[in-house]
Structure formats: C-alpha cells, structure tokens
Amino acid sequence: MKKIFISLATLTLVACGGGKQTSIDREALVTRNNPQVTSFDSLASLSVGNGELAFTVDATGLQTFPRQYSKGVPLGTQSQWGWHSFDNPENYRTEEFMKEHDFGRGHKEVYACQFKEPGRQQGAANWHRMNPHRLHLGIIGLELGDDVTPADITGIQQELDMWVGKINTRFMLKGETYDVQTVCHPTQDLVATSVSSKAHTGIKLHFPYPTGAHADDACNWDSDDKHLTEIVSQDAQTALLKRTLDKTTYYVALRWEGKATLAEKQRNYLVLTPEEDNLALSCHFLKEEPVHAPQLPLFAETATASADHWTTFWKEGAAVDFSHCTDSRAKELERRVVLSQYLLAIQSAGSTPPQETGLTYNSWFGKFHLEMIWWHQAWQPLWGHPELLARTMKWYESAEPMAREIAKRQGFDGIRWMKMTDPSSKEAPSNVGSFLIWQQPHYIYMAELIYRANPTQEVLKEYYRLVQETAKFMYSFAVYDDFHGRFILKGAIPAQETLKAATTINSPFELSYWHYAMQTAQAWRERMGEQRNLEWDELIDKLSPLAYNDDQLYLASEDATDTYKDIRFTSDHMAVLGSVGILPMNKLIRADYMKNTLDWVWDNWNWGKTWGWDYPMTAMNATRLGDPEKAVGALLMEKRTNTYLPNGHNYQDGRLRCYLPGNGGLLTAVALMCAGWDGCEVKNPGFPKDGTWDVRWEGLKPMP
C-alpha cells in the first residue's frame, strides 16, 4: 500500500476498513503465548477462572506459599458473590457522610463525601467506604511441611495452557517428583486439582479472616478466633465445610478421588492426606448451604468441561496474528494481546462489574469502579464476545434504584450511575469518585456495542429504558449558558482527576462523550419507533466546542488556561486524547488542533504519572488521526505503568501489581487499529505501512 501523507492544513480523519483475512491457526496462536514458569517469582503467578471465580497459584501449581506472594500478584481465591462486612457497633448511617455542594445550578447537590476532621462523619464515611469488602475464600495448597521453603523446590516446569484452561506443573522436592494439574469449572465456582507424588503429600485448606485493608491479599492470618470453619458433613470421599465470619457465612463442598483422610490441623486449617500416589480434589465454593448434597464433578470431568469452554472461546472469538510481522516489537504485542484476552475472560466477565485488580486481590477494598468498566469490557463485543459484556450489564438493572436516588438527591432527572460501589450498588463515599461523571455515558456506549454485535429488537428492548434514563440525567446535568448561547458541563471532576469540581468547566473528554452518548440515545429512540427528543437535539447542537489556546492546543478544561505550563495539568490521564479515539470525531473538535495536541502530549507529557490505560487511549487517538507510528509506539512505550508481567498482567506500581483496565484498553485499541471504525476504508489503520507490520486478523468489529 502506498504511504499516506497528511498535511496539517488539510488534515482529515483517515477512513478505515478490513478486507478478507487469511485464516488463522487459532491453537498455534494461543499456545505459542502460553506463560512458562521455571522459578518462584511473586509477579509470575498464574490463574484459572470463569469470570465468576478466579484461583491464582504459585510455582507449585497450587496456593502453597501465599505469604511469599502477598506483595506480588497474590494467590487469590475470589468470587463475584464473596463479600464481608465488619460489625457496625456505632450504627454509622449513610446520611452521616452526605455533604451539600452548590455548583451554580440553582439548587443544592448532595454528595457522598469523606471527612478530614475526626468525628462521627469521618467514622461513618470510613466504615461505609471499607464495608463491604471482598473475601479471600480460602487457600488450597500443598501440605509440604512447615520446614519447607520455596528454596527447597527445584526443577520447576510450569505452563498455563490457555487453549484448554489448565495449569500443568512439575517440580522436585527431597528427591521426589510432583505433578500437579489445576483447572476451574466453566460454569461452577469450582476448582479441581490432581496431585501425583510418591511422597503422598496432602492438600491443605487454610482459611483467612479478612483484613478490610484498602489494597492487599485480604488475608489476616492472625485472627483465627474471629472466624470458624466447621465440618458439617463428611464421608469417605466428600465433605461439606461451613465458614462463619461475623454475620457472613458461606460453604465449601469437597470431593476427592483416592483414599484420603480429611482432618483439622488447627483452627481454620484442614489437611486432606492421601494414602496413595495420586490424589484429586474438587472444591466448590458456595454462597449458600446446598439443599441436597452436591454431586461434584471429578477432576477429569472438570478438565474436559474447561477444555471445551476454552477451545470454543478461542475459536468463536476474534483473533489477531502478528507472526508475519518483521518489526521486533510484534512478538511482544501478540503476547500481550493473547494473555489479555485470557485474563479478562476469567477476571472481568462476571455478573458484577470487575474491580481493577479483578479476582486476584483487593484494591479499593475489593470494590469496583464504574468508570473503569469500559476499559475492562468494551473490547468484548469488538472481539466476538458480546455475551460476556451482556452478563455484566444485567447488574445495572439491580443498581437502578440507588442510581435514581443519587440523581434525585442532587436535583437531577433520570439516573446517575455511581463511581465506586459493590454488588449492593451502595455508593462509597469519596471526595473524588462521587464527583466523576464519565462513568455516566458508559452504559449507552456499551449497550450500543452489544447492539452492533447483534442488531435485533430483543437487544433494543433489553437496554432501551436504561439508555433513556441515563440520557435524561445527562441532559439535566448540562447547564445552558444564556450569555453565550451554549450548553456547558461544570461541577464535576473529569477523567483527569487532578482537576477540581468547583472550578472545572467543559473538560474535553466529557464534552465529546456527552455529544456521542446523547446522539446515540436519540438513535435508540428512532430504532424503537419513538420521536427524537427535541431538547436533547438542542443540547447536541449547542454543546460547547473544546477550548484551546493560542498555540491551537486543546486545554485540559476551559478554565485551565495554564494547561501547558502547570505540571498539574500535564500529569495523570491525558484525557483530552480520549475525545477522539475512544470516541469518533465530532463537530466540537478540529482534527488539526487535536493532532497538535497529540504531538505535544507525545513529546512533553509527564509519562511517569500515567496509568496503564493511558497508552491504549493514546494509541486510539493516534490511529484515528492517521499516525500509526505513534499508535504502535504508545502500546509498546517502555514505561513502568506500561509493563506487562510474564503472566500478562499490566503492572502499575508496588500497590497495583496488576491493573486490568490496561489489558482491556490494549484489546480495544488493537481492535480499532485493525478493524477501524464506521466508514473506514484503510486496512489496518493503526499499523505503519512500511512493510514490517503484516498484521492478520479475523472476526473483529469496527468501533463507532
């Protein structure tokens, strides 16, 4: 293909398109990127899961050394339903951390806030921010002996076989060979393992008490007196355990193959000891006590179900093959892409929105952030898995009453989606999160992606009402500026969280997102045979254009006139680039000014203060603006927060050793770079046309 030159004077968005792709050997693509582990590395733990439960193991194939991994990528056993709250003896109530604000809309707005001053308000905010928190459901590891350390284990050969969803592990200890296989059932919260060794090593089940900490492995090993593990029933091959932690209970059903004895080693610590060389254990985590004794599948049955599930996942979804590229970076990009699909399918595809560290360990107390759901899951319909996003979207229906109440107490129409929450949809108090608004249009965008993947009346009917209620809030939130004859956005903290709600006016990404989402909500009205809302059309027509300076660079917000002088405005997320990239070009934006802004950000941004999704956001912006060199360069920029560990996790820092929004953003960016967007005619628009990027793909959907 001829090289494309675009002058700034006549810059327009390049159009994009795919074309027929060569058939890809899916199994070869996946398996050549299987992670291999040959030593104990706390940042190289591997996981199995199904979107509802994830189980992470060390180099023994199970959770044998949890303490040694607690500061790395921890050995979590977490679910969508497993939550706990500490007692509330002070009876702290939600109304105690509400605070009135006046952002000049003619009415008071009440927000869930934190308080610096000691007292009851601070105590209430802190308790409700911490509770509920996500549980670690229990350690399943090898009972190697209290004197054994990781240094004693040699000859480690471990592989995550992503094609079938199985972790295969072999190692040596005291002259004996151990073979361990670990799988997760695709439709049950069940982990199964098979252990072969002449040492007749047992399997331990060790249960922690929660910590309630902001970010950790959720394992308090020093409070055995605060919780209890009881054997409710037991026979020669099965057992049912009851876990009691304050007012929280859950159950663990066990089934083993081979002669073995289950016994309590100490409080909350049981060991299943085999009498033979082979021991297989199925462990089912249950939110409620089963009515009848569960007939758990054997290890082989679970392994077969896992293999069927994963081969279907890989075959039916989209695929991108970088093996024909000669650019030296292509192999690493392919590794990140394949591993990210696997990680997000097991950790960010469940019945509730995902937390930023998935089901691996707790961050923000295990709660999830609705402004991040787009980054976790927007890729799924684009990659042929709309059902994964649809499964999570159902949660919004249960959250509607709370979201409606938030809008009402702030004086707005419709529903306002909260930022930081949990399965109950309770809004966590925050002096930042409660003032964010960019989570609001996500529901409309994601419903649109699901509809584009399956454009039927059934899909329209399923999401239409909440699409409209979401848009009602967006219209009522915007303020009409009579003097300038325009709508403005104010009284919110934008995606670039270094800005303040009290002073920020017309942040660029939010303006662009309002424009796109309101147009999409109108399109849904028309698809349903309804008339367009004329007030919404007026908002779309009169929404403020993005503000820029004398150098024709877009500002962080209209009031941030020192955007390119004050480091506060050039740190954190370069959200201005999200205005084009995540979103299609619109009439609020000039492409040449946006290209100027991209170039300045590229050369001058404080990249040390970025987050993992900032790189794919930059790549998407560069792709739409016809700069594929920057698109690829952004995805593979050598920065700490753009690091991808051996297991595929996006590493941020010592607190966030895994950060799944970065993985999801990567996949969305690659979809755009390959399949483009509506009206696109250039093949692979996000990759340079110098002959080194022969990227082959199939099954991807274009972005809006």
Number of domains in the chain: 2
The structure tokens listed for 252 are 């663990």
The structure tokens listed for 227 are 């919780």
Q: Which domain holds residue 156?
A: 45-82+134-314
pLDDT mean over 484-491: 98
The structure tokens listed for 207 are 């249960």
Q: Which of 314, 335, 351 is the last residue of a domain?
A: 314
Residue 207 domain-assigned (yes or no): yes
- Do 119 and 254 lie in one domain? The reply is no
Q: How many residues does the chain have?
A: 704
Helix (H, G, I), strand (E, B), or coil: what is residue 435? helix
Residue type, 228: L
Confidence of residue 291 (pLDDT cuts 50, 70, 90): confident
At 218-237, the pLDDT tens digits run 999 999 999 999 999 999 99
Residue 185 domain-assigned (yes or no): yes
Which residue in the block uniquely carries the two structure tokens 């675009």? 6
- Identify the helix (H) or strand (E) that includes residue 203: strand 202-206
Determine the Cα–Cα distance for residues 238 and 291; give it in Å rounded to an integer: 16
Determine the Cα–Cα distance for residues 287 and 538; give it in Å rounded to an integer: 49
- Do 255 and 115 lie in one domain? The reply is no
Helix (H, G, I), strand (E, B), or coil: what is residue 17? coil
Residue 112 domain-assigned (yes or no): yes
- Do 187 and 124 lie in one domain? The reply is no
For the entire predicted model, the pTM comes to: 0.96
Residue 335 domain-assigned (yes or no): no
Determine the Cα–Cα distance for residues 418 and 498; give it in Å rounded to an integer: 19
Determine the Cα–Cα distance for residues 439 and 418; give it in Å rounded to an integer: 8
- Do 263 and 151 lie in one domain? The reply is yes
Q: Is the pLDDT confidence value at 17 over 50?
A: no
Q: With beta carbons less than 8 A apart as the criterion, state whether 617 and 602 touch.
A: no
Confidence of residue 20 (pLDDT cuts 50, 70, 90): low
Confidence of residue 294 (pLDDT cuts 50, 70, 90): confident
- Do 113 and 62 lie in one domain? The reply is no
Domain containing residue 141: CATH number: 2.70.98.50
Residue 216 domain-assigned (yes or no): yes
Whether omega for the bond prior to residue 132 falls within 30 degrees of 0, making it cis, is yes
Question: Across the chain, what does the average pLDDT equal?
Answer: 95
**For 686, left (φ over 0), alpha (ψ -120 to 50), or beta?**
alpha
Residue 513 domain-assigned (yes or no): no
- Identify the helix (H) or strand (E) that includes residue 229: strand 227-234
Burial class (CB in 10 A: 0-12, 13-18, 19+), 474: buried
- Do 150 and 277 lie in one domain? The reply is yes
Confidence of residue 634 (pLDDT cuts 50, 70, 90): very high
- Do 75 and 217 lie in one domain? The reply is yes
Lowest-pLDDT choice from 185-194, 561-570, 617-626 = 561-570
Determine the Cα–Cα distance for residues 92 and 261; give it in Å rounded to an integer: 46
At 129-183, the pLDDT tens digits run 999 999 999 999 999 999 999 999 999 999 999 999 999 999 999 999 999 999 9
Q: Is the pLDDT confidence value at 12 over 80?
A: no
CA dihedral over 230, 253, 249, 211, signed as positive or negative: positive
Q: Is the pLDDT confidence value at 16 over 80?
A: no
Residue 73 domain-assigned (yes or no): yes
Determine the Cα–Cα distance for residues 320 and 27; give it in Å rounded to an integer: 12
Determine the Cα–Cα distance for residues 478 and 475; give it in Å rounded to an integer: 6
At 584-623, the pLDDT tens digits run 999 999 999 999 999 999 999 999 999 999 999 999 999 9
The structure tokens listed for 578 are 């999200």
Determine the Cα–Cα distance for residues 107 and 567; give it in Å rounded to an integer: 34
Q: Which of 294, 314, 334 is the last residue of a domain?
A: 314
- Do 264 and 121 lie in one domain? The reply is no
At 649-686, the pLDDT tens digits run 999 999 999 999 999 999 999 999 999 999 999 999 99
Q: Which of 314, 332, 350 is the last residue of a domain?
A: 314
- Do 108 and 189 lie in one domain? The reply is no
Helix (H, G, I), strand (E, B), or coil: what is residue 448? helix
Q: Is the pLDDT confidence value at 7 over 70?
A: no
Percentage of the chain exceeding pLDDT 90: 96
Helix (H, G, I), strand (E, B), or coil: what is residue 274? strand
E strands, 554-701, are 643-644, 650-651, 696-698
Residue 170 domain-assigned (yes or no): yes
- Do 263 and 220 lie in one domain? The reply is yes
- Do 292 and 241 lie in one domain? The reply is yes
Lowest-pLDDT choice from 282-296, 479-493, 495-509, 643-657 = 282-296
For the chain, the farthest-separated pair of C-alpha atoms sits apart, in whole angstroms, at 84
* pLDDT score for 5: 27
The structure tokens listed for 219 are 């394992």
Long-range own/partner contacts, residues 297-303 (CB < 8 A, 24 or more apart): 297/185, 297/188, 297/190, 297/192, 298/192, 298/255, 298/257, 299/181, 299/183, 299/192, 299/193, 299/194, 299/257, 302/183, 302/184, 302/185, 302/190, 302/192, 303/164, 303/166, 303/181, 303/183, 303/192
- Do 111 and 151 lie in one domain? The reply is no
Determine the Cα–Cα distance for residues 429 and 258; give it in Å rounded to an integer: 51
Residue type, 354: P
* pLDDT score for 2: 30
* pLDDT score for 22: 61
CB atoms within 10 A of CB 154: 10
At 349-402, the pLDDT tens digits run 999 999 999 999 999 999 999 999 999 999 999 999 999 999 999 999 999 999
